[in-house]
């Protein structure tokens, strides 16, 4: 049998093994609307009513199954537990009136299944007398004969929405193709230990990714407690719609609890039995190091546990053979960010956001009264929250368990720093204390003790604020939703890839890349940190933290000593370094300026700010040295305090720019901005031949909400934008849910980049997103409208049923946001209504997010270090008559600082401009978020259409 495309004129060839099957097949296709019209050379021709599809049936036993084989196959198809959508369809046919076809099948007592339900049928599956599985659909443009549903598990309850079973092109399966039916598993997810924002997003991703891959999904309620108790009350099968609305929920909806019983073998034996009874052969645990330690121990003991169950007749031989191996995978949910081998844990940045918000508020009252505040944050064995909050809020002092001092030393050091800051004119003092802060004698340091020192020694009016469980509460920030979702999808992939010999994986992140690490190694290193601290080996404890933690700590110390301690570098190594903002404002710009200036001061360099971009420099000589007191609160201010515009050097007057560079004898330049900054750096680098003033190290820190700068997968400001847009969409979605039967089309900024729309779709659970890279295809729009109709039909009367469609401003010049909403309204036939929402410049955000603050600081300091490293080399050639601009070593002194996959790297502007840039579109040639688009669509059940 050939497998044709079922749009346009096409034909299908079928074969029967004998005359009876041939006759039965002709009668069957007559029932479903194909009329017999010709016989030629023993080939029988039937044609559809619209004459677009021809079926050819001939008798030939060489190309078909025997009568007995066909009977067995049909009997298997009609088994009660078979979901016909989950099996590989021979072909799918589009029909105009599905109800008439269903009535005809019923009248002739032909077995069939319809989806999503009898009230709103969109698809019907049945089996012809030759054993071919056939799908009929109301969609006018089915694309191929192998939709993703052919990979789903054969259980009707798994996919309540038929949006998962539409005929789609393989473009939607770029990351999830080649499903192996032998890999179908029953996958359970469990949250354990302390709750963390983002756990619900992780559960949602695991449930839907498992279903999409043809597996059954389960949730173990109440953590290990539920595993020990067992039964359907605690081990529940999850359906697609069960995790609706999880993205915007804080905490964990499936519960978590500490379980002493599971720590004993008898408790783990019960857990083993209950998983076998539920038919589960893979377990994904989202929790901290204690929870993941229990998971890894559970897997290592599994062979002996299941053997004991068999020997005591608590399970059958069949169960023993089926569940010999348990696949376990870990995703880390912990606000402390204390797990080794991963840069971030689920919930950590949400908790950091709560802390920074609280300190920002405290800052105002502290400044008003010239007070000191001691703020206690969580972190029993890890000072990550205190450290990052210290950087993000420009705190005066932090106390963390990894870097203790004697009782006398920390008191004297803190008082010295605070006193210096006060003597320079600072009105407020913020000291952040991790709850696990200790002296080097392992004596706990309490907030009240810190307060007493500030009062007694410095006479400061001091207050204590303990944030407590506020740090755990609230919805997850955009980053944690993204991290939790991508890790959840990868966790499902991991358990499907695992063999009995594969070590249990931990899903981690390195810079910008989701990776798998050995779970046992991560747990071992994490626990060894606490052990090292307990044994007073603080140097070892610090070495066991990841390199980024150490880097952040060194940065904080350097920035905190700015302008008060003796500079680190000798006089002949000190430079004159300028910073300029170019392009639209973006969250983190001020943080970059603050970090650059304070780090320069601590090293002995002289920092300059060029105000109002290159036009400000050319017109007004807007160069100012940076004063420490003036910038002390810039970390928590959005926008750009030194001003910014889109003018490039050539547009402003590049000769005048060179004159001022020479006048102020700049030894290095840091540009902070978007694509205009990228173009500016290229112009400066190209002009080195004519202007020796530009023969200095120059580095660009990408900062734009569009995230469209070549050479990086992350730009400052994009996280702040995503947070603002996610909050906005959550509110709009809530409105849509309350109104019932309403969808919103939301216009998203980003220029020609679909980054913001793509990731906002992932963080908000939007039904569809349209981006400039793809445009808006009318067939895709038609399919998306069908999806909306079906979603509203299946979720009728349910809560959290608001629908969102995100449209990038430049996705289509013709189909504007309002026009798109009007089309959807018109096509909805009154089943739902559609409104528009345009957040506009709200997307630039107010206060910068903690990620943009801390990354702004990290990037700025790396940029200064880049200038330090390259300054002597390029300065030696500054007035060289034979200056060779295309020399690779020279070209590398003008670079873009960016994150690429798992690394932070510098890439020369010459290479990026010449080989990795689409100038007309103001975009990089390679789009790093294409895989994320697929994941966002798949987790919403969106069918993607690609023109063939």
Residue 169 forms part of a structural domain = no
Confidence of residue 76 (pLDDT cuts 50, 70, 90): confident
pLDDT at 103: 84
Do 578 and 712 have their domain in common?
yes
Asked if 453 contacts 415 with a C-beta cutoff of 8 angstroms, the reply is yes
Q: Does 3 or 27 have the greater pLDDT score?
A: 27
CA atoms of 448 and 462, how far apart (whole Å): 10
The kind and range of the H/E element at 524 are helix 519-534
Residue 825 forms part of a structural domain = yes
pLDDT at 171: 35
Among candidates 384, 399, 407, 406, which has minimal Cα distance to 431? 399
> What are the residues whose beta carbons fall under 8 Å from the beta carbon of 16, sequence distance 6 or more?
22, 25, 57, 58, 59, 60, 64, 130
Do 712 and 727 have their domain in common?
no
Confidence of residue 145 (pLDDT cuts 50, 70, 90): very low
Q: Where are the beta strands (DSSP E) in 312-428?
A: 327-332, 372-377, 397-399
pLDDT digits 0-9 by tens, 646-658: 999 999 999 999 9
Residue 216 forms part of a structural domain = yes
SS3 177: coil
Residue 537 forms part of a structural domain = no
CA atoms of 495 and 498, how far apart (whole Å): 5
pLDDT digits 0-9 by tens, 873-909: 988 888 888 888 788 999 999 999 999 988 899 999 9
Give the lowest-confidence range in 102-111, 641-650, 679-688, 726-735.
Answer: 102-111
pLDDT at 947: 56
Confidence of residue 139 (pLDDT cuts 50, 70, 90): low
Asked if 270 contacts 301 with a C-beta cutoff of 8 angstroms, the reply is no
SS3 805: strand
Please say if the pLDDT value at position 180 is more than 90: no
Please say if the pLDDT value at position 107 is more than 70: yes
CA atoms of 272 and 260, how far apart (whole Å): 16
CATH number at residue 91: 3.10.180.10
Give the lowest-confidence range in 121-130, 203-212, 239-248, 722-731.
Answer: 121-130
Q: Give the CA distances from residue 186 to residues 199, 278, 284, 935, in Å, rounded to whole numbers and listed in that order.
A: 20, 9, 11, 21
Take residue 916 and report the two structure tokens written for it: 């990795």
Chain centroid to CA 327: how far? 24
CA atoms of 286 and 295, how far apart (whole Å): 10
* DSSP structural state of residue 574: -
Looking at residues 100-116, what average pLDDT do you find?
A: 84
**Alpha-carbon torsion (593, 596, 602, 604), positive or negative:** negative
Do 901 and 781 have their domain in common?
no
SS3 345: coil
The kind and range of the H/E element at 806 are strand 803-808
CATH number at residue 729: 3.40.50.460
Looking at residues 198-204, what average pLDDT do you find?
A: 97
pLDDT at 677: 98
Do 594 and 687 have their domain in common?
yes
Residue 508 forms part of a structural domain = yes
Do 316 and 235 have their domain in common?
yes
pLDDT at 396: 96
CATH number at residue 260: 3.40.50.450
Which position has the token pair 């190594």?
573
Mean pLDDT over the full length of the chain: 88
Strand partners, 56: 13, 45
Do 430 and 519 have their domain in common?
no
pLDDT at 10: 65
CA atoms of 732 and 744, how far apart (whole Å): 8
Q: Which residues are catalytic?
A: 336
Among candidates 710, 677, 705, which has minimal Cα distance to 579? 677
**Alpha-carbon torsion (71, 73, 76, 78), positive or negative:** negative
Do 707 and 805 have their domain in common?
no
Find the Cα–Cα–Cα–Cα dihedral 550, 553, 554, 559, rounded to 10°: 160
**Which phi and psi angles does 669 have, rounded to 5°?**
-135, 135
C-alpha neighbours within 13 Å on the C-beta side of residue 912: 28
Do 444 and 483 have their domain in common?
no
SS3 120: coil
Give me Rg for the CA atoms of the chain: 32
Number of H helices, E strands in the chain: 29, 32
Q: How many domains does the chain have?
A: 5
- Distance linking the first and last C-alpha atoms of the chain: 22
Do 339 and 428 have their domain in common?
no
Q: At what angle are helices 478-497 and 930-939 packed, to 10 degrees?
A: 80
Do 584 and 674 have their domain in common?
yes
pLDDT digits 0-9 by tens, 444-462: 999 999 999 999 999 999 9
Residue 908 forms part of a structural domain = yes
CA atoms of 679 and 685, how far apart (whole Å): 10
Confidence of residue 120 (pLDDT cuts 50, 70, 90): low
Residue 162 forms part of a structural domain = no
CA atoms of 319 and 277, how far apart (whole Å): 9
User: Domain range spanning residue 440?
Assistant: 359-471
Take residue 186 and report the two structure tokens written for it: 């029953």
Do 739 and 819 have their domain in common?
yes
Among candidates 462, 453, 377, which has minimal Cα distance to 416? 453
Among candidates 745, 766, 763, which has minimal Cα distance to 809? 745
pLDDT digits 0-9 by tens, 248-297: 999 999 999 889 999 999 999 999 999 999 999 999 999 998 899 999 89
Q: Give the CA distances from residue 332 to residues 180, 284, 339, 517, in Å, rounded to whole numbers and listed in that order.
A: 28, 10, 7, 12
Query: Of 456, 471, 486, which residue is a domain's last?
Result: 471
Please say if the pLDDT value at position 617 is more than 90: yes
pTM: 0.83
Query: Of 433, 451, 471, which residue is a domain's last?
Result: 471
pLDDT at 158: 28
pLDDT at 798: 74
**Alpha-carbon torsion (7, 11, 17, 21), positive or negative:** positive
Looking at residues 140-163, what average pLDDT do you find?
A: 33
User: What is the DSSP annotation of 745-759?
Assistant: EEEE--TT--HHHHH
CA atoms of 191 and 287, how far apart (whole Å): 6
Asked if 91 contacts 12 with a C-beta cutoff of 8 angstroms, the reply is yes
Confidence of residue 93 (pLDDT cuts 50, 70, 90): confident
Residue 924 forms part of a structural domain = no
Please say if the pLDDT value at position 81 is more than 70: no
CA atoms of 741 and 803, how far apart (whole Å): 8
CA atoms of 292 and 195, how far apart (whole Å): 14
Asked if 30 contacts 46 with a C-beta cutoff of 8 angstroms, the reply is yes
Looking at residues 356-370, what average pLDDT do you find?
A: 94
Among candidates 482, 491, 224, which has minimal Cα distance to 347? 482
CA atoms of 218 and 94, how far apart (whole Å): 34
Do 224 and 77 have their domain in common?
no
Q: Where are the beta strands (DSSP E) in 456-554?
A: 462-466, 505-510, 513-518
Please say if the pLDDT value at position 868 is more than 80: yes
- Print the SS3 string covering 243-303: HCCHHHCCCCCCCCCCCCHHHCHHHHHHHHHHHHHHCCCEEEEEECHHHHHHHHHHHHHHH
CA atoms of 608 and 700, how far apart (whole Å): 16
Confidence of residue 399 (pLDDT cuts 50, 70, 90): very high
Count of other CB atoms within 10 angstroms of residue 71: 14
pLDDT at 634: 94
């Amino acid at each position: 049998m050939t497998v044709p495309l079922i749009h346009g004129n096409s034909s299908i060839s079928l074969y029967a093994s004998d005359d009876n099957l041939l006759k039965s097949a002709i009668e069957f296709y007559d029932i479903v609307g194909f009329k017999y019209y010709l016989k030629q050379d023993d080939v029988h021709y039937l044609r559809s009513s619209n004459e677009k599809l021809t079926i050819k049936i001939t008798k030939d036993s060489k190309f078909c199954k025997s009568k007995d084989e066909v009977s067995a196959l049909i009997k298997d198809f009609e088994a009660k537990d078979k979901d016909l959508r989950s099996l590989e369809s021979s072909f799918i046919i589009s029909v105009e009136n599905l109800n008439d076809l269903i009535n005809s099948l019923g009248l002739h007592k032909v077995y069939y299944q319809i989806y999503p339900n009898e009230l709103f049928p969109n698809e019907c599956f049945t089996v012809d007398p030759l054993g071919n599985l056939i799908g009929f659909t109301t969609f006018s443009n089915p694309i191929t004969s192998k939709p993703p549903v052919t990979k789903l598990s054969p259980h009707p309850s798994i996919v309540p929405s038929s949006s998962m079973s539409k005929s789609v092109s393989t473009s939607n399966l770029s990351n999830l193709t080649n499903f192996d039916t032998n890999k179908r598993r029953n996958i359970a997810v469990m949250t354990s230990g302390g709750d963390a924002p983002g756990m619900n997003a992780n559960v949602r991703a695991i449930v839907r990714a498992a279903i999409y891959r043809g597996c059954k999904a389960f949730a173990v309620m109440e953590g290990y407690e539920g595993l020990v108790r067992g039964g359907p009350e605690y081990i529940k099968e999850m359906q697609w719609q069960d995790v609706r609305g999880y993205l915007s929920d804080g905490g964990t909806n499936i519960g978590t609890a500490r379980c002493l019983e599971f720590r004993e073998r008898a408790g783990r034996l019960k857990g083993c039995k209950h998983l076998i009874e539920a038919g589960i052969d893979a377990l994904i645990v989202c929790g901290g190091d204690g929870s993941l330690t229990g998971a890894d121990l559970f897997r290592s003991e599994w062979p002996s546990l299941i053997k004991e169950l068999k020997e005591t007749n608590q399970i059958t031989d069949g169960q023993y053979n089926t569940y010999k191996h348990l696949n376990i995978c870990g995703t880390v949910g912990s606000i402390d960010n204390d797990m080794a081998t991963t840069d971030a844990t689920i919930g950590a940045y949400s908790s950091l956001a709560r802390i920074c918000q609280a300190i920002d508020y405290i800052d105002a009252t502290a400044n008003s009264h010239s007070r000191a505040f001691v703020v206690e944050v969580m972190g029993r064995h890890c000072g990550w929250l205190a450290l990052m909050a210290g950087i993000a809020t420009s705190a005066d002092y932090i106390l963390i368990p990894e870097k203790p001092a004697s009782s006398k030393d920390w008191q004297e050091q803190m008082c010295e720093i605070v006193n210096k800051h006060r003597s320079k004119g600072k009105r407020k003092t913020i000291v952040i204390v991790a709850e696990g802060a200790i002296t080097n004698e392992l004596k706990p340091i309490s907030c009240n003790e810190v307060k007493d020192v500030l009062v007694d020694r410095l006479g400061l009016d001091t207050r204590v604020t303990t944030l407590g469980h506020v740090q755990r509460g609230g919805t997850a920030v955009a980053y944690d939703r993204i991290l939790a979702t991508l890790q959840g999808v990868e966790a499902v992939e991991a358990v499907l890839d695992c063999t009995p010999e594969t070590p249990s994986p931990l899903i981690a992140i390195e810079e910008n890349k989701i990776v798998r690490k050995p779970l046992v190694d991560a747990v071992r290193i994490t626990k060894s940190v606490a052990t090292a601290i307990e044994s007073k080996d603080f140097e070892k404890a610090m070495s066991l933290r990841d390199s980024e933690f150490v880097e952040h700590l060194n940065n904080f110390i350097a920035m905190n000593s700015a302008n008060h301690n003796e500079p680190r570098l000798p006089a002949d190594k000190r430079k004159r370094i300028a910073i300029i903002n170019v392009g639209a404002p973006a969250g983190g710009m001020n943080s970059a300026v603050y970090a650059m200036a304070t780090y320069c001061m601590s090293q002995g360099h002289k920092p300059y700010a060029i105000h109002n971009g290159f036009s400000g420099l050319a017109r007004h000589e807007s160069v100012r040295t940076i004063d420490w007191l003036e910038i002390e609160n810039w970390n928590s201010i959005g926008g750009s305090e030194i001003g910014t515009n889109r003018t490039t050097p050539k547009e402003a007057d590049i000769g005048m720019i060179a004159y001022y560079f020479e006048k102020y004898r700049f030894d290095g330049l840091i540009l902070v901005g978007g694509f205009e900054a990228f173009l500016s750096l290229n112009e400066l680098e190209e002009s080195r031949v004519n202007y020796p003033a530009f023969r200095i190290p120059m580095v660009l820190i990408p900062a734009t909400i569009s995230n469209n700068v070549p050479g990086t997968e992350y730009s400052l400001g994009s996280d702040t934008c995503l947070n603002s847009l996610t909050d906005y969409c959550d509110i709009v979605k809530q409105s849509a849910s309350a109104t019932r039967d309403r969808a919103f089309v939301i216009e998203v900024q980003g220029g020609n980049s679909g980054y913001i729309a793509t990731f906002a779709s992932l963080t908000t659970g939007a039904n569809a997103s349209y981006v400039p890279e793809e445009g808006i295809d009318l067939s895709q729009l038609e399919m998306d409208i069908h999806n909306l109709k079906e979603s509203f039909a299946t979720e009728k009367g349910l809560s959290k049923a608001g629908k969102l469609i995100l449209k990038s401003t430049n996705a289509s010049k013709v189909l504007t946001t309002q026009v798109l909403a009007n089309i959807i309204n018109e096509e909805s036939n009154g089943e739902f209504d559609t409104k528009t929402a345009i957040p506009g410049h709200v997307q630039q955000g107010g206060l910068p997010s903690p990620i943009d603050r801390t990354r702004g600081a990290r990037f700025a300091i790396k940029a200064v270090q880049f200038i330090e490293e390259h300054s002597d080399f390029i300065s030696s050639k500054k007035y060289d008559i034979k200056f060779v601009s295309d020399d690779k070593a020279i070209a590398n002194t003008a670079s873009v600082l960016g994150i690429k996959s798992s690394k932070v790297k510098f890439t020369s502007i010459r290479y990026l401009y010449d080989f990795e840039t689409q100038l007309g579109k103001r975009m990089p040639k390679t789009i790093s978020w294409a895989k994320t688009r697929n994941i966002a669509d798949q987790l919403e059940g969106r069918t993607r259409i690609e023109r063939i």
